[in-house]
Structure 1
Amino acid sequence: MIKKIPVLDLKDGQAVSGKSGLRDTYQPLQTVFAPSANPVEIAQGLKLNGADELYIADLDLIESNGHNINDIKMVNTIIPVILDAGVKNAEGFSFFLDYAFKLIVPTETLESLDELYEIFEKYPKERIIISVDVKDNELFCKNLDLTLKEFKEVLVDIGASQIILLDISSVGTNNGYNKELLDEFKDLKDCLIIGGGLNKESIDELERLGIKKVLVGTSLHSGEISII
Structure 2
Amino acid sequence: MEIIPVLDIMNGMAVSGKSGERENYRPLETVFSDTPDPVSIALSLKARGAGSVYIADLDAIEGKGHNLDVVGRVNHVLPVILDAGVNDSQTFGFFLEHASMVVAATETLSSFEELEEIIRRYPPSRTVISVDVKDMELYSAGIDLGLEELRDRLLGMETGDIILLDISSVGTGAGFNRELLEVFRPLIDRIVPGGGVLPEEIPELEAMGVRRVLAGRALHEGRLMPG
Q: Find the residue that maps to 2:192 and give its secondary structure.
A: strand
The 4+ residue runs of structure 1 with deviation greater than 4 A are none
Instruction: Give the distance between the partners of 2:176 and 2:218, measured in 1 at CA.
Output: 13
Partner residue of 2:187? 188
Partner residue of 1:8? 7
Partner residue of 1:48? 47
Partner residue of 2:73? 74
1:157 Cα deviation from its structure 2 partner: 2.7
1:20-59 mapped onto 2 (5 Å cutoff): 20-59=19-58
**Cα shift readout 1:109-162 (whole Å, capped 9, x = no counterpart):** 001122111112211111111000011111000111111111112212322231
1:132 counterpart letter in structure 2: V
Instruction: Give the distance between the partners of 1:192 and 1:179, measured in 2 at CA.
Output: 13
Partner residue of 1:170? 169
Structure 2, unaligned runs of 5 or more: none
1:17 Cα deviation from its structure 2 partner: 0.6
1:204 Cα deviation from its structure 2 partner: 2.4
Instruction: Give the distance between the partners of 2:154 and 2:182, measured in 1 at CA.
Output: 16
Alignment check: 8 A CA contact 2:165 2:193 kept: yes
Instruction: Give the distance between the partners of 1:157 and 1:187, measured in 2 at CA.
Output: 11
Instruction: Give the distance between the partners of 1:113 and 1:158, measured in 2 at CA.
Output: 13
* 2:223 maps to 1:224: yes
Instruction: Give the distance between the partners of 2:155 and 2:223, measured in 1 at CA.
Output: 35
Instruction: Give the distance between the partners of 1:128 and 1:227, measured in 2 at CA.
Output: 21
Instruction: Give the distance between the partners of 2:200 and 2:175, measured in 1 at CA.
Output: 8
Percent of paired sites with the same residue = 50
TM-score scaled by length of structure 1: 0.97
Partner residue of 2:150? 151
2:226 counterpart letter in structure 1: I
* 2:136 maps to 1:110: no
2:93 counterpart letter in structure 1: S
Q: Find the residue that maps to 2:76 and give its secondary structure.
A: helix
Partner residue of 2:206? 207
Q: Find the residue that maps to 1:15 and give its secondary structure.
A: strand
**Cα shift readout 1:18-42 (whole Å, capped 9, x = no counterpart):** 1111111111100011110011111
Q: Find the residue that maps to 1:67 and give its secondary structure.
A: coil
Aligned residues: 227
Instruction: Give the distance between the partners of 2:62 and 2:27, measured in 1 at CA.
Output: 18
Instruction: Give the distance between the partners of 1:48 and 1:171, measured in 2 at CA.
Output: 26
1:136 counterpart letter in structure 2: D
Alignment check: 8 A CA contact 2:112 2:142 kept: no
Instruction: Give the distance between the partners of 2:101 and 2:187, measured in 1 at CA.
Output: 20
Structure 1, unaligned runs of 5 or more: none
Instruction: Give the distance between the partners of 1:187 and 1:122, measured in 2 at CA.
Output: 25
Partner residue of 1:95? 94
Instruction: Give the distance between the partners of 1:116 and 1:209, measured in 2 at CA.
Output: 27
**Cα shift readout 1:159-207 (whole Å, capped 9, x = no counterpart):** 2231000111111112211010000011111010010111111122211
Q: Find the residue that maps to 2:189 and give its secondary structure.
A: helix
Cα RMSD (Å): 1.0
TM-score scaled by length of structure 2: 0.97
